[in-house]
Amino acid sequence: MRFANFVVNPMILPGKTIGVLGGGQLGRMLAQAATRLGYRVHIYEPQAHSPAGAVAHREVNAAYDDLAALMAFARGCDVVTYEFENVPAAPLQAIAALTRLLPDWRVLETAQNRSREKRWLRDQGLPHAQFAEVAAGGDVAAAIRQVGVPCVVKTADFGYDGKGQLKVMGEAGLAAAREKFRGQPAVIEQFIDFACEVSAVVARSAAGEVSVFPVSENIHADHILEFSIVPARVPADVKARAEALARLIAGKIGLVGVMGVEFFVTRSGDVLVNELAPRTHNSGHYTMDACVTSQFEQQVRAICGLPLGDPALLSPVVMVNILGDAWAKGEPKWEALLADPAVRLHLYGKSEARPGRKMGHFTVRAADVETALAKARELKEKL
Ligand code: AMP
């Protein structure tokens, strides 16, 4: 019943307007893919002059809890999606009553809170790290003892890129955890001594068509993605399990749109689901330069009811994030990147380069991933 209108009017064709909640780089690259296909794009973002607003037809600056502004925005769009996970679910529900909102607000509500997300994984019988929940004002130390050490304490809300996380190695860490998470709802996760991290971006249409991009191997530095390597250097059965889990999750959660699914690969070869993000994912940026269809075009296709595009990989590739740290000694030296035909540079047009802030990325294609990775590391150093 929820999607009954899709049966009557399944396609939102080029020329129509896509609304995006969030004006960051994911919204920018979505707007670029959508405008290439002839769509109009409206961005809703609290801060003026956003990366996405700069490449869209319209940018509305208002708060995410300004219901009147959100309603006015939604009325001007044929479909609304989001690129930012911390949009409160209640206004999304109001938007869904006015126009098509995809993915469904309930998908975001589950994924944006670590407690709900972990509970959902457990209820669906999907593999995940053992965890315990602590309500606001609850006993963090008791929950840590329940899971055991080492463990990772995470805020239930508004966590990303390792923000709001604390690793607890032993009894000595209990006081610090109590202090840091005082009064906040939190999730305590068993620490996984993983062999590596991988992720998959999955797309699902309203008709139930599912497509998964090649699994990416991800290397983080200070909890922020540094390199994505594709094909991932893991056994074929690990890749197959990650892909199958992404497919399964997309179907079970009722996804219409795209979703990034992050996994831990344990030393014994188990694949555990770490996190779900019902939007495009940083680890899927490589698709823009190395796949037949990019994750952003796939998002447009999925939310507009178009046939999904081919996710096939055209060549081995490594994606490197460019953080604000690269500006420590002035403007980075782009010449080496720009001089190499196997390298593509993407900058997000952010004016202020703060440490840890994602300012852009580049991809390196080569005949094999080891060559691409060696070149990627070298080029990153030269910046
Ligand atoms: P998250 O924001 O939950 O994706 O965490 C960011 C990063 O912290 C992950 O990509 C891992 O590198 C690390 N991390 C998070 N949770 C765990 C865990 N339970 N065990 C080991 N490492 C973790």
- The reported pLDDT for the residue numbered 159 is 61
Distance 42 CA to ligand 1 centre (A): 33
Give tens-digit pLDDT for 300-356. 999 999 999 999 999 999 999 999 999 999 999 999 999 999 999 999 999 999 999
| 177 lies in the same domain as 213 | no
Cβ–ligand 1 contact at 22 (below 6 Å): no
Q: Contact, 131 vs 188, CB < 8 A?
A: yes
CA–CA distance, 321 with 223 (Å, rounded to integer): 13
pTM for the full model? 0.95
pLDDT at 166 over 50: yes
Atom of ligand 1 nearest to the CA of 192: 20
| 79 lies in the same domain as 25 | yes
Cβ–ligand 1 contact at 150 (below 6 Å): no
CA–CA distance, 45 with 352 (Å, rounded to integer): 17
- Residue 180 maps to which CATH number? 3.30.1490.20
Domain membership of residue 40 as a residue range: 17-111
Residue 121 lies in a domain: no
Cβ–ligand 1 contact at 262 (below 6 Å): yes
Cβ–ligand 1 contact at 274 (below 6 Å): yes
* Angle at 46 (CA atoms; ends 43, 52), nearest 5 degrees: 35
Atom of ligand 1 nearest to the CA of 151: 19
Q: Round the average pLDDT of the chain to a whole number and report it.
A: 94
How many structural domains compose the chain? 3
Distance 162 CA to ligand 1 centre (A): 7
- The reported pLDDT for the residue numbered 164 is 81
Give tens-digit pLDDT for 114-131. 999 999 999 999 999 999
Cβ–ligand 1 contact at 220 (below 6 Å): yes
Cβ–ligand 1 contact at 197 (below 6 Å): yes
Nearest by Cα to 100 from 29, 4, 22, 202: 4
pLDDT band at 174 (very low <50, low <70, confident <90, very high): confident
| 245 lies in the same domain as 279 | yes
CA–CA distance, 312 with 322 (Å, rounded to integer): 25
Q: Which two tokens stand for residue 140?
A: 């963090």
What is the average pLDDT across 2-28?
82
